[in-house]
Amino acid sequence: MYAILDIETTGGKFNEEGITEIAIYKYDGQEIKDQFSSLVNPEKEIQPFVQKLTGINTKMLRNAPKFYEVAKRIVEITDNCILVAHNASFDYRILQTEFRRLGFSFERKSICTVELAQKLMPDQPAFSLGKLVRNLGIPFSDQHRAHGDAKVTLKLFELLLEKDVKKEILMEHIKIINPNKIPSKYISIVEKLPSEMGVYYLHNSNNDIIYIGKSNNIKKRVLNHLTASHPKAILIQKEIAQITYSLTGGELVTLLKEQNEIKNISPKLNHAMKFRLFPVGILLDNSHDYPIFIIEQIRSNIKYLSVFKNKKAAKIALLKWADDFRICLQKTSLSSDKIACFNYEIKKCDGACTGKESIDDYNLKIKSIVESHNYPHKSFLLIDKGKNEAEHSFIYVEDSVFKGYGYHELNHQIKSRNQILSRLIPMDNNPDTQKLIHSFLRRKKFKKLIPLPI
């Protein structure tokens, strides 16, 4: 027996959502045996974009039953059933959260029709509910309402059951999903975590930090660690004893703080980031008449023009420089040819490989590339969101060297060097920090840039 389910929620922070509507169809594989559909008063505000999407507003829910009033009906209609939903982990998590608020557990086996469709119909162009059923020719009305979405999920499930002739794939995808079920000893810890951006620290019983992470929603990310089944999550679950965190506000501060502390503390479960975020660099070798760009694994005490996550990304960047600045591919580590490069044949190279382009002209191109990787000012502040609405965060670069980050109140201007240094949390200047800052400058992901006198 199956319970085809759909839930609409208030939206909002992870694990703080409330149910606004629920629909369940009890289905035996041939016909509907029972059904339940109801609006639900979530006793909290509905996010404006959700109201627009679903058409459900606070006025509609004023006289609707609260969750505890429909909880018994939900338990009864889903008893001895396998839950079926499109993106089942979401609907199941919401139900578990609501029951946990009442002091009860809620566990059912489940099937996700997204996963089932991807396995049985891998050639479909999209797997969102609306796009998938329309591509399959299944009529869809009352989209983004629980009864409409649950009904069309039932039609989709019927089709999937037919396609899975031997029922082998179906059995593989029946599982108990517990996205919100964590050991009881961690519940009080997780409940205290914020659903905000920051850096978090997982400690073992000796209070050693075993893992450092970052997230724009600390609570959600930590829950993932405590409920996932991949090898690193299992190691974390075996050793974790407590969790601490630091709110950061801005995304750039968060990234800089995380990578700096991983390098300084070296937690044993942060192997991938222990040394470098960007382990590959492009080096400019000026020992030749025509300078040469070299892609290599980063070495200590070597200055790189730019750094990358892997060699593929570095190669893509170097090829783009060749297109944008008409540099010669023979003068890079991408080519070992001694004859004219391919770009010269297609008139995208001005002939450094043949001696046709003068050394002075070629060096002007190199200068342009180097300047494109300089900061926009020798010294400046990057201003972004703070840890709360009453402050801003700042990134401080002095004479082209990253010095660190800090916070200041909105009504307190910091422009003098002494004011900045008094609030500064110092950090190392390294290729990783430079790359992160350049990335945010290029994408303009900050509130304000303030040039400073040198």
pLDDT tens digits, 37-65: 999 999 999 999 999 999 999 899 999 99
Domain ranges of the chain: 2-176, 184-273, 280-372, 380-451
**Among the listed residues 356, 358, 281, 277, the one whose alpha carbon sits nearest the alpha carbon of residue 318:** 281
Alpha-carbon span 161 to 140, nearest angstrom: 19
Q: Domain 2-176 is of which CATH architecture? A: 2-Layer Sandwich (3.30)
pLDDT given for residue 65 in this prediction: 96
Alpha-carbon span 264 to 425, nearest angstrom: 14
Alpha-carbon span 182 to 74, nearest angstrom: 22
| Mean confidence (pLDDT) of the chain | 89
- If phi over 0 gives left and psi between -120 and 50 gives alpha, with beta otherwise, what is residue 412? beta
Cα 134–chain centre separation:
29
> Residue 3 above 90 pLDDT?
yes
Does domain 184-273 bear CATH number 3.40.1440.10? yes
Percent of the chain with pLDDT over 70: 95
Mean pLDDT of 73-83: 94
Alpha-carbon dihedral 424, 428, 434, 436, rounded to 10 degrees: -70
437 Cβ contact list (under 8 Å, min separation 6): 252, 375, 382, 395, 397, 402
Largest CA distance in the chain: 84
pLDDT given for residue 114 in this prediction: 93
Length of the chain in terms of residues written:
454
Sorting pLDDT into bands at 50, 70 and 90, what band is 343? confident
Lookup: tokens for 5: 């389910």
Mean pLDDT of 111-119: 91
Sorting pLDDT into bands at 50, 70 and 90, what band is 176? low
Sorting pLDDT into bands at 50, 70 and 90, what band is 232? confident
Distances (CA, A) of 252 to 76, 298, 377, 380, 401: 49, 23, 18, 15, 16
Mean pLDDT of 247-265: 92
175 Cβ contact list (under 8 Å, min separation 6): 109, 110, 111
Sorting pLDDT into bands at 50, 70 and 90, what band is 184? low
Sorting pLDDT into bands at 50, 70 and 90, what band is 383? very high
pLDDT: is 250 or 415 the higher one?
250
Backbone φ and ψ of 108, nearest 5°: -145, 155
- What is the DSSP annotation of 123-140? T-S--SHHHHHHHTT---
Alpha-carbon span 277 to 36, nearest angstrom: 51
Report whether 306 contacts 321 (CB < 8 A).
Answer: no
Lookup: tokens for 324: 């944008």
pLDDT given for residue 104 in this prediction: 87
